[in-house]
């Protein structure tokens, strides 16, 4: 599901995110929705605060980013 990305000035962007605890189905769903949202916005990363969720969580996908000066090796 594509989530709404909040705009500059939204208070959630300045809210300290809560630490991630146990990995639940709800958290997995949020991560999947964040990845869908990030890809829909043609991004390479998205923080939970950017979709209105004050949580210390972010998603990244740099696999197809050939035009960036960095790379990720596994």
- Residue 72's pLDDT is 55
Would you say residue 40 has pLDDT above 80? yes
Residue whose token pair is 């004050």: 54
Helix (H) or strand (E) holding 49: none
Which residues have a Cβ under 8 Å from the Cβ of 49 and sit 6 or more positions away? Answer: 6, 12, 13, 15, 17, 55
pLDDT digits (tens, 9 = 90+) for 49-63: 999 999 999 999 877
Which residues have a Cβ under 8 Å from the Cβ of 9 and sit 6 or more positions away? Answer: none
- Residue 61's pLDDT is 86
Would you say residue 2 has pLDDT above 80? yes
Would you say residue 71 has pLDDT above 90? no
Q: Sort 52 into a burial class: Cβ within 10 Å, 0-12 / 13-18 / 19+.
A: middle
């Amino acid at each position: 599901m594509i989530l709404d990305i909040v705009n500059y000035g939204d208070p959630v962007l300045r809210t300290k995110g809560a630490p991630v605890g146990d990995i639940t189905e709800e958290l997995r769903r949020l991560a999947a929705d964040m990845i869908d949202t990030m890809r829909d916005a043609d991004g390479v990363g998205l923080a939970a605060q950017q979709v209105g969720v004050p949580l210390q969580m972010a998603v990244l996908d740099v696999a197809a980013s050939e035009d960036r000066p960095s790379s990720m090796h596994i």
